[in-house]
């Protein structure tokens, strides 16, 4: 069944079969697995779904000795060939647990970032604050100089919290997964509102759960994360509902520290009484007598632009109650569209409420704003009640939140891969 679903490109069937533990490595008479057929048909979404949680089919060859990546390359499906080839190399790299390099992906870049911050801070203290060849600090300016050290050190504490904290992992359904042998179709919560709405994309084939609408399965952590924002390699963790506040506070503190330390370093260099007048002579003097302070200032400016861009991006998204993942997939997720097909964020309660909820609670609740039902009449939508005859079909029709089929009159269909969308219709 998995082979047929992959060949036809029936994504909901593939999700359901994988959720019920279908064998991804099963082969037909030609030696092809579901991944082989998805690669042959050029179905990128099916290939991505079949690779979630398991890469066992990447190295399997058919009767002609070809892997899925080779078949995709033969059919000139370049994106799929790149995806499969790159995933196989990464899988083999991660599987080498005996080498130190094989453990690096799990470890992430958090130790590197921590070392960079510590070295940067040490350079600032040694070459700017305590430099013997620079004028002595006044009391007020000394407080400002050490304030930068304090903010950066506080940022390291929040960095550790963000890196070590649970980002919002959703508990895996291990018990039901073990009991799927006995009446498996009764174990998938068939009365769940998401499934009743036809939204089978909320089935996680790896965690064996029906995940919340804004959750996403992280391929690096191999877990579903509530309000998934992004996986940050620099903190070696996902950023989600439970640690986004820690992540935001970390980058804000570090940016504030960069501003203060940069101003202090520049002031110390410019107010050196031994420095000559003019930019070029002064720069030459600083590079000779204050090389440590000059290097610190250049690196501080470099780090500031990257970190400040991240702060602005995160602050903007918080004010709109939208995640980085949703921004990246805004054209794919149907719940980010209104009845008229226009982009609409149902979780945006206004800048003030979004920011206040985030500052007080540390996260925003997933409470959608009810869309005016009158909008559906203005966009020429006919609502047809659902009945039992509208099941087991080959075509898809978008539905609204009340369980009605929405038929768009004189409008093009909008393909969506995420959100409450699909209702099966059978021609009579």
Q: How many helices (H) and strands (E) does the chain have?
A: 17, 10
CA 257 to chain CA mean position, Å? 27
User: 360, exposed or middle or buried, with CB in 10 Å at 0-12, 13-18, 19+?
Assistant: exposed
Cβ atoms of 386 and 343 closer than 8 Å: no
User: Would the CA dihedral through 391, 397, 398, 400 be positive or negative?
Assistant: negative
For 179-183, which contacts have Cβ atoms below 8 Å and span 24 or more sequence positions? 180/20, 180/21
Cβ neighbors of 140 (< 8 A, separation 6 or more) are none
- Distance (Å, whole) CA 306 – CA 249: 16
| 324-343 per-residue burial string, b: 16 or more CB within 10 A, e: under 16 | bbbeeeeeebbbbbebeeee
- Distance (Å, whole) CA 31 – CA 63: 5
Q: Does residue 232 carry a catalytic annotation?
A: yes
- Which of 218, 232, 238, 355 is catalytic? The answer is 232
- Distance (Å, whole) CA 38 – CA 3: 9
- Distance (Å, whole) CA 232 – CA 4: 37
| 371-397 per-residue burial string, b: 16 or more CB within 10 A, e: under 16 | eeeeebeebebeeeebeeebeeeeebb
Q: How open is the CA angle 26-417-48, to the nearest 5 degrees? A: 35
User: 256, exposed or middle or buried, with CB in 10 Å at 0-12, 13-18, 19+?
Assistant: middle
- List active site positions: 232
């Amino acid at each position: 069944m998995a082979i047929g679903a992959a060949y036809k490109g029936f994504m909901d069937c593939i999700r359901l079969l994988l959720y019920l533990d279908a064998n991804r490595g099963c082969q037909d008479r030609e030696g092809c697995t579901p991944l082989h057929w998805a690669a042959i048909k050029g179905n990128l979404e099916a290939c991505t779904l079949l690779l979630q949680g398991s890469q066992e089919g990447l190295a399997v060859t058919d009767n002609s000795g070809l892997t899925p990546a080779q078949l995709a390359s033969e059919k000139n499906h370049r994106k799929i060939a790149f995806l499969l080839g790159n995933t196989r190399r990464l899988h083999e790299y991660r599987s080498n647990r005996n080498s130190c390099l094989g453990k690096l992906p799990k470890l992430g870049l958090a130790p590197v970032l921590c070392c960079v911050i510590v070295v940067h801070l040490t350079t600032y203290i040694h070459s700017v604050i305590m430099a013997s060849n620079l004028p002595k600090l006044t009391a007020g300016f000394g407080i400002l100089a050490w304030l930068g050290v304090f903010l950066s050190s506080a940022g390291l504490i929040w960095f550790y919290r963000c890196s070590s904290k649970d980002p919002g992992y959703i508990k895996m359904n291990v018990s039901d997964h073990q009991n799927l042998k006995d009446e498996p179709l009764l174990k998938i919560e068939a009365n769940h509102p998401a499934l009743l709405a036809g939204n089978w994309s909320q089935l996680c084939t790896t965690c064996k759960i029906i995940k919340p609408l804004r959750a996403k399965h992280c391929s690096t952590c191999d877990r579903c994360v509530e309000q998934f924002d992004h996986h940050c390699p620099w903190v070696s963790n996902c950023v989600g509902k439970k640690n986004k506040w820690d992540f935001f506070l970390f980058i804000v503190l570090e940016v504030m520290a960069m501003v203060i330390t940069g101003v202090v370093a520049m002031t110390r260099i410019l107010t050196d009484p031994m420095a000559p007048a003019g930019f070029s002579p002064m720069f030459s003097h600083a590079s000779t007598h204050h090389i440590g302070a000059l290097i610190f200032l250049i690196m501080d400016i470099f780090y500031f632009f990257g970190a400040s861009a991240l702060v602005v991006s995160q602050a903007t998204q918080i004010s709109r109650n939208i995640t980085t993942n949703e921004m990246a997939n805004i054209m794919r997720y149907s719940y980010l569209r209104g009845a008229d097909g226009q982009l609409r964020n149902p979780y945006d309660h206004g800048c003030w409420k979004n920011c206040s909820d985030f500052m007080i609670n540390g996260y925003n609740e997933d409470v959608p704003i009810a869309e005016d039902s009158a909008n559906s009449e203005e966009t020429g939508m006919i609502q047809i009640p659902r009945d039992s005859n509208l099941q087991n079909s080959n075509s898809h029709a978008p539905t609204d939140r009340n369980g009605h089929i929405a038929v768009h009159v004189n409008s093009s269909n909008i393909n969506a891969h995420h959100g409450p969308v699909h209702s099966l219709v059978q021609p009579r």
